[in-house]
Amino acid sequence: MSESALDRTARALDLIPYLLEHQGISITELATVFGVTEKQINEDLILIHMCGLPGYTPLELIEMYYEDGFVTVSDPQSLKRPRKMTRSEVAAMLVSLDMMKSLQDTQLVAEIEGLQNKIRNGLQMEIPYVVISDTLTSPFVKVIEVAIMKSQALAIEYLSGSKDERSLRNIAPLELYVANSQIYLVAWCEKSGADRTFRVDRILACSVIEQGSLIPRPKRNQSMVGDNQVVLVVDHAARSFVEENQNIIQSIEQNERGYSAVLYPVDEEWLIRTIIGYGNKIRVEWPPAMAESIQVRVEAISQIYLDI
C-alpha cells in the first residue's frame, strides 16, 4: 500500500467526527464519501479502535461498534468536531461557488456570495483561480433543469448541426453541462433509440410532455460510441478538432507533426464533413473508403469554384 501514514491520519481524524454525525452509516457509504475502498475503511476503523487517550484502558479509548457493515461511535474522546478547513479546501470551495455563480442568474448570485463569505470565514488568502463569467445562456436551461430534477419528458424542436435538418424529438433529459464554450444536453432520444448529446443553443422550441408518452429508456448501458474504427492523422494546425471532440476520441498520441487519433464515431457523415472543413490538416488513415469519399466530395465542391 502506497498511502502515506499522514494521509491515513488525516482521514482518521476526519472520519471520527463524521461518524458521530452519521451514526449507523454503512461502510459502503463511508467508502464512497471518503473516496477510498471498503477495505481501506475497514482497516482505518480497526486502527482507530486502538487509539485513545493516555492510560489506554477501555474508558480512554475511542469507543465504537461496527457490525454487519454498519458503524456507530459512542465515545470519540477529544475528536468531537471536524478539523478546520485547509487553505486548499477553502480555495477549492470558493472557486466552485464562483463557477456556480457564473452559470446562474442574479437571484442566486447574492445568496452564493453570502455563502462564500461564510466559507472564507475572515480568512485572508490568495486564490490563484479566476472564473470568467460567460454569457452562455439559453431560454430553455431552466425548463431542462426542472425536467431533469423531476424526471419529466420533453418535446424539442432541434436544428441538427450534424445532419443539417430540423427535427421534432421526444427526449428524456439526463444531464446538462458546459464544455467547449457551449451548453450541452445529454438525453435519451426516442427517435434515435439511444442517448444523444444536443447543443442547447440549437434547440428551437422545448416543452414538457406526458412522461408516459415516451418509450422508456432501456436499462442497458447506453453508449454513444459507433461500431467502426476511424484512425485520423491530425496536424497541429487542426488541434481545435482534437480539443472540441475529446468525447468521441478513444485514444490519442501526440508526435512532432501533431496527433494520431482513434475514434468510433456514431455519425460518419458528420465526421466526413468536418474533416473536409480542415483541408488536408486532418487525414484519414483508416478506413480507406472514408478517405475516398472525402476525395470525391472535395472534387465536387471544387466544381463550384471553377472560375478561380
Residue 214 binding another protein, by CB under 8 A: no
Question: What is the C-alpha radius of gyration for the chain, rounded to an integer number of angstroms?
Answer: 27
End-to-end C-alpha distance for the chain, whole angstroms: 68
Residue 25 binding another protein, by CB under 8 A: no
Residue 208 binding another protein, by CB under 8 A: no
Residue 112 binding another protein, by CB under 8 A: yes
Question: How far is residue 57's CA from residue 49's CA, in Å, rounded to a whole number?
Answer: 12
Q: Classify 262 as helix, strand or coil.
A: strand
- Bridge-partner residues for 198, per DSSP? 185
Q: CB 120: neighbour CB atoms within 10 A?
A: 15
**Segment interacting with another protein, rule: CB under 8 A, options 50-58, 187-195, 212-220, 223-231:** 50-58
- Given candidates 221, 243, 251, 288, which one binds another protein under the rule CB under 8 A? 243
Cell numbers found for residue 218: 432501456
Contact 146, 134 (CB under 8 A): no
Q: Shortest Cβ distance from residue 253 to another protein (Å)?
A: 13
Q: Shortest Cβ distance from residue 170 to another protein (Å)?
A: 19
Question: How far is residue 197's CA from residue 222's CA, in Å, rounded to a whole number?
Answer: 12
Q: Classify 23 as helix, strand or coil.
A: coil
Question: How far is residue 264's CA from residue 248's CA, in Å, rounded to a whole number?
Answer: 7
Q: Shortest Cβ distance from residue 30 to another protein (Å)?
A: 10
- Given candidates 24, 39, 74, 83, which one binds another protein under the rule CB under 8 A? 83
Please, which residue, 5 or 227, has the CB nearer to another protein?
5
- Given candidates 52, 154, 198, 290, which one binds another protein under the rule CB under 8 A? 52
**Segment interacting with another protein, rule: CB under 8 A, options 156-164, 188-196, 209-217, 260-268:** 156-164
Q: Shortest Cβ distance from residue 265 to another protein (Å)?
A: 14
Please, which residue, 211 or 254, has the CB nearer to another protein?
254
- Given candidates 41, 45, 64, 90, which one binds another protein under the rule CB under 8 A? 90
Cell numbers found for residue 160: 441538427
Question: How far is residue 6's CA from residue 210's CA, in Å, rounded to a whole number?
Answer: 54
Cell numbers found for residue 101: 455563480
Residue 212 binding another protein, by CB under 8 A: no
Residues 165-194 that bind another protein (CB under 8 A): 165-166, 175-181, 183-184
Q: Classify 240 as helix, strand or coil.
A: helix
Residue 88 binding another protein, by CB under 8 A: yes
Question: How far is residue 11's CA from residue 18's CA, in Å, rounded to a whole number?
Answer: 10
Residue 273 binding another protein, by CB under 8 A: yes
- Given candidates 145, 211, 215, 229, which one binds another protein under the rule CB under 8 A? 145
